[in-house]
Every structure is written in C-alpha cells, then in structure tokens.
Structure 1
C-alpha cells in the first residue's frame, strides 16, 4: 500500500516504556489523527494525553533538514566525509579510546545495533553508553546480579492477576498512565486486589492506594531489608522454594538483622507510622501473588542497585516470582531502553545481552561479526558509563564524541559542567531531529535525523515485548535514518562489507541471528529471538507484538520468565544478595537544608522538544515550578504561584511556587523538562551532584541538596506575540525570570524582574522590544498595571498585561484572534474593543487546565460539581473530562473532595463503591 493511499496504519508510541500500540489515520501522506490500537496487548486501545497528541507534534517547522559542518549547511557527502575523516584522524593520533558515543532510548533497536557494532566492534572503543544509564541501570545491575540476566520476569497481565501490587518510587498515574488505568480497571474487577504506594510524595497515584507509606527519601532499602527480616521472624519464608532455586539466604538474612529489625526501629528510620508499616509487611508476606512495580524513585540513587536488590530478595524469599501476578517488575522510562540494552548499548555490554566478563563472549561476537576481509577489534573491557564518560571528555581523554537523539547538557547532573566539557571537546557530532536544542550550540557536525512517524524499526517495552515502530511519512528535507547515517560513515571508514544494510529488516535479522549464535539453550543467555531470524522484509513489515525469548521452543514468545525456577546463572539458581542500607551521598547542610526530588509531569516528555509542539500539552503545567510544603513556604515567606529560586551543586533554578501538603516538610520537587530553550534557569540537572551508584553508574538524581529562597521581583507581566514575531532575544533582556509557552497560534512569555513596574516606562520598553507599535493601551501607574496591544493592518500582533498571572483571563479567545491574524483576517469592531480584556464581554475564566485531552479547566469543573455533578462519571458526561486517557481522574476526584469539604450544603458521596 502506498503512502498516499494508506488510510490506517499501526505503529508504536515513542514516549514511555509502556510501549502502547497506536493507530494512525493517514490522508495524502500525512497523519491527521491517532488513537490507541485495540489489538495491541500493551494498551488495548488506551492512550495517555501525550500519545493522543502525537499527530500535533509533527510537521516540518523547527526540524533539522540539512547537515551542518562547523556552522555551515553542507550536502550529505561532505558531512559524512567529515565525520569519517575526523573520527579516523582522532583515532590515529590518540587511539580508539579517544572516541566515544552516547545514545538514547529514543533510538530504534536497529539504530542502536549498528551504532554498537561500529563503535565497539570496528572502531574498537568501549566508550559507548546511553541515556538509559540515567533511568534503568540500577534495575539492570540488580537483575543480573540476582537472576543472572537483564530479564524482567513479569508482564502487564500480572498487574491484573495480582492480589497485591506494591508501587515503589513510581508515580504511575503521571509517568505510565496507561498502566495506571489498567491497574484501576483491575481493581474495579477484583475488589480484593490491594495497592500499596511507597513514595515520599503524595502523588495522583495514591488515588488507588489502600495503604500509603510516605517514607523518608533514600530509606527504601531499609524498608525492604526490614521486610525480609520480618518475614523470617514470623515464618513467612518459602523454605522449599529457597532450598530448590536460590543461594545466599543466610548471609542476606544476617545482614538484614545487623540493624534493629523491630517494626518500631524500621518505622523510625523510614519515618512512617509503625502500624501502617506492619500492615504492609503482613500483606506482602501473606499473599503469594505480589507484584512490586518500581521505577526511578528506586533506581536514581547512589545505592540504587542495592534498593532494587532488596526488593528482589523479598520476592525470592517468599517464592513470589515466576507466577501469574507475582514478581519484581522494573518499569522502564523510555520507549526503547530495553531494546538498546538487548543490542549492547550500555558501556559494560557487548551485544545480545553478552558481557565482557562472560566466558567466550568476546570471541563469540568477534566470530559472528567477522566477514571475508574484516575482523572486528572489540575492546577487552567495559568503557566509561554516562557520568564518567563526560568527565573523561572534561579531562581531555575522550576527544571525539557522537551524540544521538539525546541532550546530555540538560539531562545529566552538573549540567553546566557537561556543557562546558563539550564546548572544549575537539569534535562533537550530534544526530538530532530538531533545529533548536541546547546541545547544537556545542556541536561541530550536525546530522539531521528522522523522527517518530518517519523512523522504521522495532522497540522493546518494559515487559520484553518487541513492537514495530513503522515509518509512515518521509523525513523532511534531507533528514535521514540513524542506521543509514552510521552505515555510511562505516563505509567511508573502510568497513562497508560489515555494514551493507539496505533496510532495517536486514539489521533486525542479523541481531536475531546473533541472539541465537552459539546459544546452547541452557538458559544462561535468555535473550534469544533466533526464531525471528528467518523473517524476510514482508514478514518484518507485518511483525506483530511479541515477547522474548522467541525461540524454536517458544515461537509465539514467552509471557513470563523463570516459571520453572531455573535462572540465568551458572548453576540455574537465583542469588539473594546481602544489602546494607545507605543514605543519599548528597548531604544536607546549614545552607542547603532542603532535600530535592526530581521527576516528570503528566503532559510533558524529557526536554519537551516534541511535547512542546502540541500547545495543549503546555497548559497543565505551563512553567517550571517548585513544590513546597505549606509550613516551609510560611517560614520562608513564599506565596503560592509566586517565584522562588533554588541553589544547587552547579547552578540555580527559578520557578513558580506550588504550595502542596503532598510534600513532606524539608523536601521539594521540581520537574526535569525545562531547559534554556523554555525558561531563564530551570535545569534540574544543575541542582544535582554527580554521585553515582558504584555498580550501575546511575546518578543520584532523586536526592539533591538545595537552598530555597524567594526570587525578588518588583513586577510580573504576560506578553503574547504572533508566532512569526521573533522577539526572544529582546524579551529576555532585563528580566530576572522568563518562561516561553507555545500556544496554538501564538507564543506566550511570562516575565518578571525589576525595577518596580510603577517606575518602568512600559510604553518605551514595548517600542524598543517589539517590531509593531503600540495601538491600544490602558494603564494604572499607581498600581503598576498596564494592558496594551499592537495591531497592524487590522490584525493582532501582540498583547501585554503587566500584573501577576493570577489576573490573567483565559487566553483561548485571544489565541483565536492570533489565528485569524495569521490568515489575514482583520479584527471586527467588537473584537477590537475587547482586545485589552482578552475575552468576550462577560465571559467566565475557565481557570487552570485540568483535562488536557478535552481542554477542560478547573472553573468549569468546579461549577459543574456545585450544580450537582458530584462524581467522575457525571463530570465526564457533562464536560468530557476524564473520558479519554483518564490521567486527570485523580485531579477530578480531588476537586470533588475539596468542594465537598467547603460546600455550605453537603455534597452527596455518589462515587461508585
């Protein structure tokens, strides 16, 4: 079927590790709408708000379309020659270990495979790592140490088959919302299913919790070692399973008992109520079908591997693994973090889940990759992991780095230091989709890459399920697929025979063959998809979702691992490993006395290069923010929605205060998404020190130490400008705080600074800053208030309000006027009179956005509740909120409860039991 005639196509979402199937509606080679694929087993038709807006993030605007060499656009031949030539020159002068690559879970498995093969196999450098190091490395290290392989034993159906689901360090409702909805449905269908949430913050995920443990940050290992000791003390260990299938119990128990193992002592160390803690211990020990779902709150620690291990120890000790509804289940952050690990994307891996220390692995991979005239020269040992890799660049040991589909100048700890190191690096090559990212400022060679809906290959989700991400559209301009770019460079380096790929299917089949190459079937190399090695291109194009291993014995895949109690270790037994709980390395002090937690928000993804292209995704949390406990805010004189400043290891962070009793005292939360492209100073990574787990190399991103203070600002203003007015440089001047917020037809800037608004000549500032003169204005100098607008040939070009954002009207009406202006439609007389008010006469402000799918604000929801719609179902029937992805349902329930608490007349409880 041709692109132009295709009306419906199946692919996979490019966001989190849930790996949702997507159906794309095509018209004339364009995606005009998306919906969840009802036949995909990961999501059964559900999509979160980010997935539902995928078609809104496409388009050529803002894309890289031509290669750049030293700041000048060039053709592909020139760019590829330069990449190959400069890499070869660096290798010749400084050796292979002067070269490095840094990859991403946004790459497809085929891209990853070719990159790993080139860097480790033929350039001979071990220094190839991936941003998956920042989210999954500790979970991987613990699985390998205990189960013998990086092999998640569970699947999503286990959440529905469980009697108890424990969510540890995972805000599932925001970070993996489709799984949250699956769990919600499972709980409705099985009233006996219990959910426990373990998290320092009260998050939207707690809406499903039968029990919440608000633990002290960093105390997770103490909680789970305490659970193990409690189980042993009360005879709750599965002694038969332990004797038949494991080793290390006695040493592990002895270590767990080193500290006071009483419930009271554990509760004190974790800062939770002893009775609630013992309830959790009893529930876990008493049920066989227990799933512990854990994510970054566990992994992102200087002792993350041990925290994961403590969880695995409890599952092994109770025999709660290899069964339906049971197992330790690490939930992946990125769409292809697992696929990248399958092909050796981490610096301590080779390929196909083989490691440097595995007997015979180096020789095996060498034999497999050898051709008639080429023999790979694989390094003899592991390379630098992510943080150490950029430290080696800083020291000058690595002199050339190729970064693909990620932005370490935002995501790594001590982000400013990383940026400075890259600025000094003699050769920085960047493969990127977007034309305006922070990383491009330090790039010597920029290669335009294809993006989602253009890339063609496979991804592997958190439950080991391989799915096709299909190329539905041609890349814009001269953008090319990453596997093609890497292969062309390899050919110029003289390795063409080993990289003679004409299609991603050729790469996938080679990857599948390697997974089964000399794999003796003893279970020690459980990653095996050799049954897919015979796929032709037609079979590859038609590949349906399937879970590895996929072998001759299991041609339809393997939903669950270790069901027979045989593990991927040398003797087939799992290992319980002693864990000694350790606190965060980043210590609090007199000056930096607040513990910092970082994470994602509901509607955004990574550094927002994709999600910010869908304006409705910017409405739920439109600016960087700092969540603060009410008593901490009161003590420091912080006002809700005021501005505050954090000072950390490598810089500061400026954002809006969100006062929230969901925070523990002395603790703060900030989102990871904002970069210098979207705000003054909002790099979460700049607040964190580069402390890493000694085994996994994963940085301690959940445990920063920061100072908090109000950000002095004498004035605040909102400026909305037409999309074609480039005013960024001028607007940023003389502002202590700014945030850029894309709208559907315009761009909004939130500004704050000094001197006092009453002393500032705003009309003069507007004349200096904006290319269109002031047409309308209304000011109150005594209060420092002003509203003004610029109209050109009858069309609205900009709008300004000087005053706090709380005074803003809803901007939808104003955005429509910018849309009309872009089409050349002049304002009507009545509209011109309403421009300064920015709304229709008498229109009500809908308030903060709650439902992104249907753009429903808090004001409309509150009004509906007061008029009698006092259930989520009733609100959905009236306003449609909560009826699509469901991510806003916890917030809807909170609003119902708030109205119930403050209502002059009781609001009946009509929620379903």
Structure 2
C-alpha cells in the first residue's frame, strides 16, 4: 500500500528508495519477524523474515496483509480538546494539570492508567514508572489482564515468579502436545504451522485438543475432547491422581525440588463416576488421554484463553502445572507447560510491571525490599506500596467515583471489557477522560475529553517480547503522520509538566530500554528470573541493530548465544526455599447463575482474519472477505429447540446486555453453548458488541474476567425484511435495526435487516446517497417485499441494494466484483474485460449485464465463487468445492496446486481440508 502524501502532512521526508526494514508483527504473541520494504514510489510491501527464529519467514493471513492497513483515512492526526483541534502544549498541559489537581484533592488512587498489550515495552515502562514511582499509586492495569493474568498468577504460585519455562522448539520436539483452550490454528497461526510441519515430519507425534468446540485446530488432533465449560480443573486434577496411581511420578524430582504434593493430591481427588459429569466427556476418551499422558515422556501442554479467561483460570493453570511437576516434565526439550499469549507484547508488559499487582522487572509490589530497590533505582519521591485496581475493578471505581481521572492508551475498553455498557456509562460520567489512540473514531474515543494522536505500527520504534520470552525490535519504516507521537513521548511530556522532568528525560526509545535492562540486573545475581542486564550497555547503534534475543541475558551471557533457553531443568525455582509448589486445585462446579431462561452458555473469542476491535484488520477487504459479519455458532439441536433458522438472526441476552448477530448452525458447537467472536464494534455493527453481554465476574486470584462462560438466553430476532448492499463510499446513515458493515473491494458491503416495514428509498438514500444525474435502476415487487436497486454515476457502479422478506440469495462475490470493477462498460466490453463472447459489447448484452446485476447473479460466465476461504488468493468455497467434486483436486495439496489456496500463509488449510472431507464423497458416488 502507498500512503497518499497529499492527504495529510507528513512529519518528515520519505525513506530512501527500496528500503527494507526488519520489524515485528503487531498481532498475536507468536512475535513473527517481518520484512517491510518501501519502494521508490512509496509503496510498502511486507514479507516474513526468514531469519527470525519465531517464524522463519512464515506469516499468517493478518501478517501478510499488514501493508494494506497503513492508510491514513481514519487516523487521529492531531490533539483534540473537547472535540476541537488543539496544540500539543495545550493538550499535554491540560492532562498534567488535571491529573495533578485530582491527586492533590483526592489522593493518588483517584487517578488511573489503562494501557495495552499493543504498547511497546518502552511505552509500558514509561507509564508504569510514572504511575507507581512518581504518582505513587498502583492504579495502572492493562488489557492484557483480559488475556493472560491467570497464567501470571499460576506461574507465581507454582514457581515463585512469572516464568514461562519453555520455548517454541519444545512443540516440535515433543511426542505429545496437549492443546487446552487454544484455537492455535486461528489465534496463533504461525505456531500452528510449525506444529503442523512437525507432525507431517513425525506422524507419531500425537496431538490432543481440549476445547468445547471443534475448531480449525481440531483438524490436526488425534483426539478431540469437547470439554464442558468449567471442566478443566476436574480433568487435570483427575489426571494428577491417575499419574500418581500408575507410577508416572518422578519421585526424585518431587522430593528434591517441590513442596505440597500430599495436600494437592487430596484436593484433586474426584471419583471416576463423577468425572464424566464434571467434564462433559465420556470415560473412554478420558482414559485414552490419561494413558497417552502417562505413557509419553516428552509432553508439552499449550494453553491459552480458554484456560485463562475463566473465574477459575488460575486454578486451571495450576492444575496443568501440577501434572508437569509430578512427572518432572518441565524445562527440558519437548517438556513443560506453555502459556501462549494473545497480544504482541503481553510479555513485555509483564516484564516492566504493566499489571496493577506488579513492580517493574518481575518484582513484587508486596515485597518491601523490592519496593525500596525500585524506588532507589528510579530516585522516585514515592512508590506504590500495594496493588492497584485490576481492569474490571478499575472501571467499577470509575463508575462509583473513586477514580476521577483516567488515561486510556492503545485500547478500546468500551468494546473489550465485560459488561461493556456499564464501562461506557462509567466513562461518560467520569470527570476527566484522556484517550491516546491511532484511530479517531472508536467507541472509547467518543467519550474522551482529550484525544492524543499516537504513533502506529510502522511508525513507532521499540521492543516487544513474544510468548517464548524472545525480545524483538519493532522498527519504524514510515514517517510520523500529522502530529502523531510515540506513547512513551506523551507520557514523558506529561511527567515533565507534573514536575518530574529529570526522571523522564529520555531522548529516544533506546534510552528507555537501557534503563529497563539495568533495572532488571539491579541486586539480582540470579535471584530473579528476569535479567537482561547484558543488554544495558547497548548504545543507540547497538539498540538499532538488536537481533531477536531470548531472555535471560545476564551480564555474564555470551554475545551471539542463540541456543534455546529454558528454565527449571535444574530444579531451581524462584520461591524462598528454591522449590516449586504444588497448588491444591479442588474442582468447583461452574455457577453462572443460570435460570429464568438463561439456559445457554456464551463463549467468546477470535476469528482467523480479524484482530481485537478491527481498527487495523478491518481496513483491508482481503481480511473482511472471509467472515464479514458477526455470528453465533449454535448446535442444530439448540437451533431446532429455539426456532432459529440457519442464516437467520438471533438475539443473545444476559442480565447485563444483549447483541444481535447472524446464526451459524453447526454440529461443531457443543449443545447448550453458543460462540460469538469479540471483534465487532459500534462502528462496524448495529448491536454486536458481545462483551456488553458478558458478565463481569472475575477470578479471585488473578482478577481476569470469565469471558468464556456467561449464562444467556438465545432467541430468534424477528426480522420482517433482510438486505444486502454495496457502496463505493462508507454509508452515512443506515436505517435498519440490524446492520453489519465491512470493507469490500471497491468500497463497503453491508448486511441488513429490520423488524418494522422498510422504506426502501430512504434506506437507499442513506446507504448510497444518489445524486441528481445518477442513473438508478430499480426492480420492485412491493407486494412480495422485494426491492432491488443499482446506482451508476458517470457510467460507474457506485452502489446496489437488495431487499427481501428472507435473507437475500444474491452472489455477494459477484456484486462486490462489479463494484470493484467500477466502470460499467467493462461489464459488457469483451475487448476490455476478456470475458466470454456472450458478454460482447452490444447494447443488448450490456442491458443483460445490468439485469444480471439487479438479479445478483453473474450467470454461467461468472459463477458464484462463494464466501472467501483463502484470503491470500481470494479463493471462494464454491470454487474449491467445484475442484473437489470434479476430481481435479481431492487433497489440500492438490487444491493448492490447482487454485493456489492454502499455499501462502497456510491459515486456511484446515478449512480446505473440511471442505474436501464434506464433498469428495460426491465424486465417489
């Protein structure tokens, strides 16, 4: 993609021609290396970095499309106060002044920072230092609280430190990989590709997938365990007892290096008769899993949000770790518990104390010696002496007035936090709200008194740490647009105006990193896990050139050491006595407060091609083509019981809020449960902010909310009409009860529905806004409720609208293709389009083409390709089905050879495999 230099002023001259910069992907915690190349004409392209040890050149669909997300059309480019443009000096002065006044009147705990795993480590460090060391409050927390706080708590209970023991190579070296609550194929695709390649090379490698849903990850599994919500603790507690009973315990390791086994075994006891009910699994499949785990020495257990995002998440983590401690399978190649993080720098935030209950450098806020050490190092006037408010608590404190000023940075809590409507109401009533973001219009920026424009990926400079503790550089390759500035700079400037200039006088990200590294080594000598003191001496050139490096990197480390680093193989832990702790985790049945019609369990999560609230991935039509509107996966039995039609609309309601989404009826869902992705916002759908439905209950240890289990009622949404539209420009108003908006080639696409009768002309005016002189083609059957419009301006299609009493059966791919083609003469001019002779450039065929457009079908010359499966090469499901049923391609490799689908990022291969399995029987028949 090329940025338009005339659209907005740029802060500096473009980089030289054909410059390639090594940087890091800003999406999940895999931390893939990216090569970003800026050509002579300003066009940016991206590719995987073959030298980066996380991905070795691989990228997923999101990473491969990064260059398409760099446009400036929706950017916040200058500070604003009360919605009006302001100078940086005025905006920063107001922020510093209001925070200082609030602290003076109400104390340091009356203010808060809410930050993000999208921060670079240097940004995180600056924010934590200001809040905990100079304001003197623990009230800084992060959206990573929603992602991996239970892992942090579980690690600290078991190991005495927040230490991830292993590395990515362990997945490839294991003989059994257990995936728990992790749709690795969609949420960490490159790691899934590495695992897939390992299994292809060693088919004897077994994979167990523990998940209530059959996901894309399930296609690789030898055993799928469709566990009931809340059943993980019971399963792993029973596994612990089984391992002890069959002699799989490492008695020597336990005796020398652990404490607490006896009471943990007592708490774990659950009878075989109770286990199926507690887990929702058949006893036979439980026994198979237990036998494989007991009989395999090299076991890695990979877990993610399905474990963490629970009101018993910390116990789930410890139940998993207990099994590895019992067998001594930790810290050695191919062995260990492995938490994979959801955000690119969740780990970096943990390193610098981005969570409310941490100090910097993995030190504990409850440790007086650690507090003294950090305060002395920072030369700070004070230090927070107790944990601050965790994310959900923080916004409850905003609601009840305890927090009177809050600065939200690089996140969108009005969409992502549970009970999101209450979060919105809290911010609306808060006396002073500051938001730093790259995007002008979000659900959260709408509530800000002050908006501060931040640097985005491709512009900012710093480091991130991935799930295997590997620090990588994120480097800028684009100039800062408008008045956007890095987050660390904004924080430092506010600190300076609050009177702390000497402590925040950094001249760049490298200076912050050196301070961070030096603090990690202060009074350490191996007593703490996090130590990167060996990097504290980097000058700016060394920082600029820093290659990916896995910590620890103490001063005594050897330069250029790239061997995988693991913890705990020597049996040395970071507890006071140096021993790991078994943690009792009794099974507690999940109590969601069901009843009164709230008889379904809502599970939320991600989809393959989107990221968080879509402020980046939603900008490219390539990524919205796979799944363009919010949906709910529901089992056929539940759909029949509730009167829900396939592709109909459903309302999902809890005691906190409701959402309306499309029904996806599938037996891949567990009966009694419903899955809805969390990406849609007030900018992209009428009522699909699913976290407004989620209960705000949290884990009592970690404070992480239970985003995976809320009692809901599900019912059909009574629509009297449905519609589909395309428009060359973003619609202004959408007069519909239900709508979902997405980028499409040539403009935008919209799915529509309404309860009351539709005014078709009014709806068209809001969606397409025809002007005098535009040509509007109409087909209307008012009695049947059918309305179809196509609008042309100067011979170019600028919009189309299709309405009917049922979900409209038009070829989305064909209509979007006509919008992308733009020039209406190309519809019928064979010399320009290269189409078949029956599309020859005659008035008759041109009229026929326009009639086909109103019909929503391209005819035999342009068959419906169906919903996009392969985003990289725009290959639709119908195209793949045709190749399979014709016999031209009956394997994933053959589909790739024939259509290219699945041959680039590989994220769609599981889906292609399911299509083949479903349709090749037709050829056999």
Which TM class, normalised by the smaller chain length? over 0.9
The equivalent residue for 2:747 is: 746
Q: Does 1:602 align with 2:605?
A: no
- Seen in structure 2, the aligned counterparts of structure 1 residues 442 and 765 have a Cα distance that, compared at 3 Å, is closer
Q: C-alpha displacement at 1:75, in angstroms?
A: 1.2
- With over 3 angstroms needed to count, the CA separation of the structure-2 counterparts of 1:874 and 1:216, relative to structure 1, is same
Using the size of structure 2 for normalisation, the TM-score is 0.93
SS in 2 for 1:494: coil
Indicate if the aligned counterparts of 2:746 and 2:822 stay in contact, CA closer than 8 A. no
Change (3 A) 1:31 1:818: closer
Q: Is the 8 A contact 2:798 2:822 kept in 1?
A: no
Q: Does 1:321 align with 2:330?
A: yes
Unaligned runs of 5+ residues in structure 2 are 1-12, 830-840
Distance in 2 between residues matched to 1:813 and 1:720, nearest whole Å: 8
1:872 to 866, 879, 892: 892
In structure 1, what is the equivalent of residue 291 of structure 2?
A: 282
Superposed displacement of residue 819, structure 1: 5.6
- Report the alpha carbon displacement of residue 80 of structure 1 after superposing the two structures with TM: 1.0
Q: SS of the residue aligned with 2:274?
A: helix
How far residue 905 of structure 1 moved from its aligned partner, in angstroms, is 3.1
2:897 is aligned with 1:889? no
Q: Taking structure 1 as reference, are residues 397 and 718 closer, same or farther at Cα in structure 2, changes over 3 Å only?
A: same
State the shift of 1:233 in Å.
1.4
Displacement of 1:720 in angstroms is 1.4
Selected match of 2:702 from 696, 705, 727: 696
Secondary structure at the aligned position of 1:890 is classed as helix
Structure-2 residue corresponding to 1:808: 810
Superposition pairs of residues 296-695 of structure 1, within 5 angstroms: 296-370=305-379, 375-521=380-526, 524-555=527-558, 556=561, 559-695=565-701
CA contact under 8 A between 1:794 and 1:826: conserved in structure 2? Answer: no
Instruction: Report the alpha carbon displacement of residue 818 of structure 1 after superposing the two structures with TM.
Output: 4.9
Contact 1:718 1:802 in 2 (8 A): yes
1:746 is displaced (CA, Å) by 1.1
Please report how far the alpha carbon of residue 797 of structure 1 lies from its aligned counterpart in structure 2 after TM superposition.
Answer: 2.3
Give me the whole-angstrom Cα distance separating, in 2, the residues matched to 1:794 and 1:194: 59
The question of whether the paired residues in 2 share the 8 Å contact of 1:6 and 1:26 is answered with yes
The 8 Å contact of residues 159 and 183 in structure 1, kept in 2 or not, is answered as: yes
TM-aligned CA deviation for residue 748 of structure 1 = 1.5
**SS of aligned partner of 1:646:** strand
Inter-CA distance 875–219: structure 2 relative to 1 (3 Å threshold): same
Q: Does 1:199 align with 2:200?
A: no
Contact 1:776 1:836 in 2 (8 A): no
Aligned mates of 2:814, 2:28 — CA distance in 1 = 30
* SS, match of residue 592 in structure 1: coil
SS for the counterpart of 2:122 is helix
For the residues of structure 1 that align with 2:622 and 2:700, how far apart are their CA atoms? 41
1:727 is displaced (CA, Å) by 3.3
Q: Which residue of 2 aligns with 1:795?
A: 796
Instruction: Give the drift of 1:770.
Output: 4.8
Give the Cα–Cα distance (whole angstroms) in 2 for the partners of residues 491 and 420 of structure 1: 32
User: Does the CA-based 8 Å contact 2:182-2:304 persist in structure 1?
Assistant: yes
Q: CA deviation at 1:886?
A: 1.2
**CA contact 2:366–2:387 (8 Å) conserved in 1:** no
| Map of 2:54 onto structure 1 | 42
Give the count of matched residue pairs: 888
Question: What is the DSSP-based 3-state SS (H/G/I as helix, E as strand, rest coil) of the residue aligned with 1:747?
Answer: strand
**Contact conserved, 1:722 with 1:745, CA < 8 A, in 2?**
yes
Corresponding residue number in structure 2 for 1:91 = 103
Counterpart Cα distance in 2 of 1:644 and 1:894: 26
Contact 2:136 2:382 in 1 (8 A): yes
Residues 788 and 836 of structure 1 are in contact (CA less than 8 Å); yes or no, is this contact kept in structure 2?
no
Residue 85 of structure 2: aligned partner: 73
Give the direction of change, closer, same or farther, for the CA distance of 1:236–1:424 in structure 2 (3 Å limit): same
Contact 1:109/1:336 (<8 A) preserved: yes
The alignment partner of 2:36 has SS state of strand
How has the CA–CA distance of structure 1 residues 284 and 721 changed in structure 2, closer, same or farther, with 3 Å as cutoff? same
Residues in 1 aligned to 2:614 and 2:596: alpha-carbon distance in whole angstroms: 35
The answer as to 2:22 corresponding to 1:19 is: no
After superposition, the CA RMSD in angstroms is 2.0
Q: Is 2:788 the partner of 1:784?
A: no
The residue aligned with 2:725 is 719
Question: Does 2:162 align with 1:150?
Answer: yes
Pair 610,822 (structure 1): closer, same or farther in 2 beyond 3 Å: farther
Partner secondary structure for residue 183 of structure 1: helix
Structure 1 residue 379: Cα displacement: 1.6
SS at match of 2:170: helix
Relative to structure 1, the CA distance from residue 6 to residue 369 in structure 2 (aligned partners, 3 Å threshold; closer, same or farther) is farther
Pair 1:218 & 2:227 matched = no
What is the distance in 1 between the residues matched to 2:892 and 2:446? 47
What's the CA shift for 1:108?
0.1
Distance 1:93 1:533, change over 3 A: same
Comparing 501-510 with 584-593, greater Cα deviation is found at: 584-593
Q: CA deviation at 1:2?
A: 8.1
C-alpha contact (below 8 Å) 2:745/2:816 kept by paired residues: no
Tell me which moved more, 499-508 or 881-890. Answer: 881-890
Rate the CA distance shift 1:882–1:253 in 2: closer, same or farther, 3 A: same
Give the Cα–Cα distance (whole angstroms) in 2 for the partners of residues 831 and 95 of structure 1: 73
Stretches of structure 1 lacking an aligned partner (at least 5 in a row) = 907-913
Cα displacement string for residues 54-104 of structure 1 (whole angstroms, at most 9, x for unaligned residues): 000002111000100111111111111111111111111111111100000
Q: Distance in 2 between matches of 1:859 and 1:826?
A: 24
Partner residue in 1 for 2:250: 238
1:295 corresponds in structure 2 to 304
**Structure-1 separation of matches of 2:748 and 2:371:** 54
Change (3 A) 1:301 1:769: closer
Distance 2:817 2:682 in 1: 25
Mapped partners of 2:264, 2:765: distance in 1: 71
Partner of 2:874: 855
Map of 1:909 onto structure 2: none
Q: Deviations over 1:565-605 (max 9, x none)?
A: 11111111100011112233423213100011110001100
Tell me, yes or no, if the aligned pair for 1:24 and 1:31 is still in contact at 8 Å.
Answer: no
